[in-house]
Amino acid sequence: MVTQASPGHPVGVDGAGLIGLAVARQLAQSHRPVLVFEKEASVAQHQSGHNSGVVHAGIYYLPGSAKATLCRRGVDLLSAYCADRGLPWDARGKLVVARDEAETAKLREIGRRAAANGVPGVRWLDAAEIRELEPDITGQAALLSPTTAIADYPAIARSFAGDVTGLGGQVLTGTPVTAVHRRGDDVEVSTPSGTHRLSRLVICAGLQSDLLAAAAGDEAAPEIIPFRGEYLRLRPHARGRVRHLIYPVPDPAYPFLGVHLTPRIDGEADIGPNAVLALAREGYRRRDVSAAQLSRLARSTAFRRLARQNWRAGLREMRGSVSRRAFLAEARTYLPWLGPGDVIPAPAGVRAQAVDPDGSLVDDFRIHRTGPVTTVRNAPSPAATASLAIAERIVAELSLS
Ligand SMILES: Cc1cc2nc3c(=O)[nH]c(=O)nc-3n(C[C@H](O)[C@H](O)[C@H](O)COP(=O)(O)OP(=O)(O)OC[C@H]3O[C@@H](n4cnc5c(N)ncnc54)[C@H](O)[C@@H]3O)c2cc1C
């Protein structure tokens, strides 16, 4: 079945994670016919449903970057949205804790960025002030970001999907896009249940986005390299020891924020995520290995360069992955009381991290348009926080008449 070619062709969105659904919602609100294709049986089954659940305030990001501007705008939009829909939001605040002199110097730079990004209420704490606020944390200094919040991202995604369908759009779950063809100014996507002619296609396919972009005629680079993020969950007796979100000072060489302690909106509290190379794009368990992904990695110059430049950090993360003792030792540097009896394993997430041909990890959000096809090529954290702002930007740049 081919949908009729007409000026009223719908806009297609590939992927019903937070970004795809936010884009579809924005389109539906401006009365555009919109079709969302999602290969899984329900929304938010990948990154949007397997993350730390944090609404970042925007303290880390390079001022002027897409991450900085879209995170700040995204927080405002998302907090208003959750308030309007009665969705949970807990602004319990976060401490970024420096453990030594070197980290304290890096933390000062983060403080400058937070000020430049207009993050409200950020405050410097010395060791005594840390103890006063969180007696069970050790650190030399900390930044307190009082507006950092936790939210229920799967519930937000379901609510976005409800908005799309309520406004006349369709969210086709269980519908993988299997091929994409450019047809003049239009695009045609194939699914097992039929072919759809679209005026535009926005690919928000997370871990699969580079493959779909290439299928749609875009460049192969940057490639997505999947990094699993593993968590440990605090047992009930240990949950109440810390009230704020507690983060280490991140290594500026990597776009990951380091193993942190995050209370979750359902009352649980998780420690993680680490960042371990996943051998399958949706490889949530260590034993998940895909022959196709292994062969892609073996052929990838970007991956070879990445591995050559980062093998030390890679080995450190793998040690933390195979040994719970090593994982805990890392967390104990700021949570000194943490012992093996305080934790159980928790579900992992897999990050879609874009890597440029020179082997560098793409830090900022990257969105690329070629003809009628726009692809979200890199949308790591804080893209859940920024999802509504990313959608605003994508829709504004679609040049819809
Ligand atoms: C471990 C971890 C922790 C994180 N913590 C945070 C955090 O605390 N705060 C924050 O702001 N961000 C966080 N993030 C980042 C955030 O989760 C992501 O940036 C965000 O969810 C990306 O949304 P998305 O819609 O681009 O991708 P996804 O949620 O991955 O959605 C992509 C969708 O595309 C679908 N799809 C793929 N291929 C096809 C196909 N061929 N046909 C149809 N559908 C297809 C997939 O099934 C999937 O549903 C974290 C990420 C991870 C992995």
Mutate to test the pocket of ligand 1, among 36, 47, 71 (most ligand atoms within 8 A of CB): 47
Pick the residue whose CA is nearest to atom 4 on ligand 1. Answer: 51
Does ligand 1 have an atom closer than 6 angstroms to the CB of 10?
Answer: no
How confident is the prediction along the chain (401 residues), in pLDDT tens digits per residue? 433 334 579 999 999 999 999 999 999 999 999 999 999 999 999 999 999 999 999 999 999 999 999 999 999 999 999 999 999 999 999 999 999 999 999 999 999 999 999 999 999 999 999 999 999 999 999 999 999 999 999 999 999 999 999 999 999 999 999 999 999 899 999 999 999 999 999 999 999 999 999 999 999 999 999 999 999 999 999 998 999 999 999 887 777 788 899 999 999 999 999 889 999 999 999 999 999 999 999 999 999 999 998 877 776 776 667 678 888 988 999 899 999 999 999 999 999 999 999 999 999 999 999 999 999 999 999 999 999 999 999 999 997 87
Does ligand 1 have an atom closer than 6 angstroms to the CB of 263?
Answer: no
**Using one digit for the tens of pLDDT, what is the confidence trace for 24-79?**
999 999 999 999 999 999 999 999 999 999 999 999 999 999 999 999 999 999 99
The Cα-based distances of 134 to 53, 130, 196, 222 in angstroms read 21, 6, 55, 42
Query: CA triplet 199, 205, 208: central angle to 5 degrees?
Result: 125
The Cα-based distances of 253 to 320, 360, 382 in angstroms read 19, 10, 17
pLDDT at 324: 81
Q: Which atom number of ligand 1 is nearest to the Cα of residue 54? A: 8
Determine the Cα–Cα distance for residues 190 and 176; give it in Å rounded to an integer: 8
Q: Are 355 and 306 in contact (CB under 8 A)?
A: yes
Pick the residue whose CA is nearest to atom 35 on ligand 1. Answer: 15
Residues composing the chain: 401
* 132 membership: H or E segment, kind and range: helix 127-133
Region of residue 167 (left: phi > 0; alpha: psi -120 to 50; beta: else): alpha
pLDDT at 322: 66
Mutate to test the pocket of ligand 1, among 14, 25, 48, 193 (most ligand atoms within 8 A of CB): 48
Does ligand 1 have an atom closer than 6 angstroms to the CB of 15?
Answer: yes
Q: Are 274 and 259 in contact (CB under 8 A)?
A: yes
**Using one digit for the tens of pLDDT, what is the confidence trace for 328-375?**
988 999 899 999 999 999 999 999 999 999 999 999 999 999 999 999
Mutate to test the pocket of ligand 1, among 145, 381, 393 (most ligand atoms within 8 A of CB): 381
Does ligand 1 have an atom closer than 6 angstroms to the CB of 250?
Answer: no
Contacts of 315 (CB under 8 A, 6+ apart): none
Determine the Cα–Cα distance for residues 68 and 113; give it in Å rounded to an integer: 9
Q: Which two tokens stand for residue 316?
A: 């450190």
Start-to-end CA distance of the chain, whole Å, equals 27
Q: Please state the pTM of the whole predicted model.
A: 0.96
Does ligand 1 have an atom closer than 6 angstroms to the CB of 381?
Answer: yes
Does ligand 1 have an atom closer than 6 angstroms to the CB of 74?
Answer: no
Q: Is the peptide bond before 347 cis (omega within 30 degrees of 0)?
A: no
